[in-house]
Amino acid sequence: TQLLEQSPQFLSIQEGENLTVYCNSSSVFSSLQWYRQEPGEGPVLLVTVVTGGEVKKLKRLTFQFGDARKDSSLHITAAQPGDTGLYLCAGDNTGGFKTIFGAGTRLFVKA
Amino acid sequence: NAGVTQTPKFQVLKTGQSMTLQCAQDMNHEYMSWYRQDPGMGLRLIHYSVGAGITDQGEVPNGYNVSRSTTEDFPLRLLSAAPSQTSVYFCASANLGVGFSGANVLTFGAGSRLTVL
């Protein structure tokens, strides 16, 4: 059974601080996705990474896929209260249809 | 575009009752799936479908049935509700293999919160 472990589970920081969220597995994935979920809503895709070692940037968010395609990280620079939410990593395999999700990291950014 | 629409948004059931959670998408996506979200456990896949007439089990299929008679609709049926099925249910759809080497880029509905007493 493939598992994705996210850390930390909960993070409370001040506005302007930097943070990194990790997503780790013992399994290889063909791609990893990061989603953000706000209360009362479904997750919304932020990014997909597919190549080992790939780095993608989305404004203040930087996503990296591990060289072995078993792990990923999300780094937020100068966090803002609008970044508050639940961040989920998800992985799937080419030809497979069972996208699995990590348990999520709940981020709270205080003004 | 409406995207993925789930109904009802909230539902309370008694143990043993049956009900159907509805999911419809207007993006002509081949792939549809149902997840449940419980605190500390993330999203767990219940059932999925890769096209009309084709369904398969996910991680936690017991107690749930699905069918896919059209591309647009993918209802989830609880035959005899149990308190362990209290959860938030999400329907998601995807256009298989578009853009990123087969990665399933999921579009989610807003969720259905189910409480079983």
Task: Give the pLDDT mean for A16-26.
Answer: 96
Mean pLDDT, range A89-93, rounded to an integer: 86
Counting one residue from A and one from B, how many pairs have CB atoms under 8 Å apart? 77
A11 phi, psi to nearest 5 deg: -145, 125
Q: What is the pLDDT of residue A95?
A: 61
Mean pLDDT of A73-88: 96
Q: In the prediction, which pLDDT does B1 show?
A: 65
| pLDDT for the residue B37 | 96
Looking at residue A107, what is its pLDDT?
Answer: 97
How many angstroms separate the CA atoms of B55 and A77, rounded?
Answer: 42
Model confidence at A23: pLDDT above 70: yes
B66 SS3 class: strand
A40 torsion bin: left (phi>0), alpha (psi -120 to 50), beta (else): left
User: What pLDDT is recorded for position B102?
Assistant: 52
**Residues of chain B falling short of pLDDT 50:** 99-100
For residue A90, give how far its alpha carbon lies from the nearest alpha carbon of chain B (Å).
9
Mean model confidence pLDDT for chain A: 92
Find the closest chain B residue to A103 by CA distance.
B42
Q: Which residues of B touch A48 (CB under 8 A)?
A: 99-100, 103, 105
Q: Of the candidates B40, B103, B111, which has its C-beta nearest A31's C-beta?
A: B103
State the amino acid at position A31 in one-letter form.
S
pLDDT digits (tens, 9 = 90+) for B24-54: 999 999 999 999 999 888 899 999 998 999 9
Better pLDDT: A96 or A25 = A25
Contact between chains at A103 and B41 (C-beta distance less than 8 A): yes
Q: Give the per-residue pLDDT at B100.
A: 47
Residue A25 has pLDDT above 60, yes or no: yes
pLDDT tens digits along A30-53:
889 999 999 999 999 999 998 899
C-beta of residue B97 within 8 angstroms of C-beta of residue B75: no
Confidence category of residue A98, pLDDT binned at 50, 70, 90: confident
A67 versus B97: which is more confidently predicted?
A: A67
Chain A residues touching chain B at CB-CB below 8 Å: 1, 4, 6, 9, 30-31, 33, 35, 40-45, 48, 50, 88, 90, 92, 94-95, 97-104
How many CA atoms does the CB half-sphere of B75 hold within 13 Å? 13
**Cβ of residue B39 closer than 8 Å to a chain A Cβ:** no
Query: Is residue A99's pLDDT more than 50?
Result: yes
- CA-based max dimension of chain B: 44
- Considering only CB atoms, B104 lies closest to which of A88, A99, A104, namely A99
DSSP assigned state of B73:
B
Helix (H) or strand (E) holding B6: strand B4-7
What is the DSSP annotation of chain A?
----EEE-SEEEEETT--EEEEEE-SS--SEEEEEEE-TTS--EEEEEE-STT-EEEETTEEEEE-TTSSEEEEEESS--GGG-EEEEEEEE-TT----EE---EEEEEE-
Average pLDDT over residues A53-63: 95
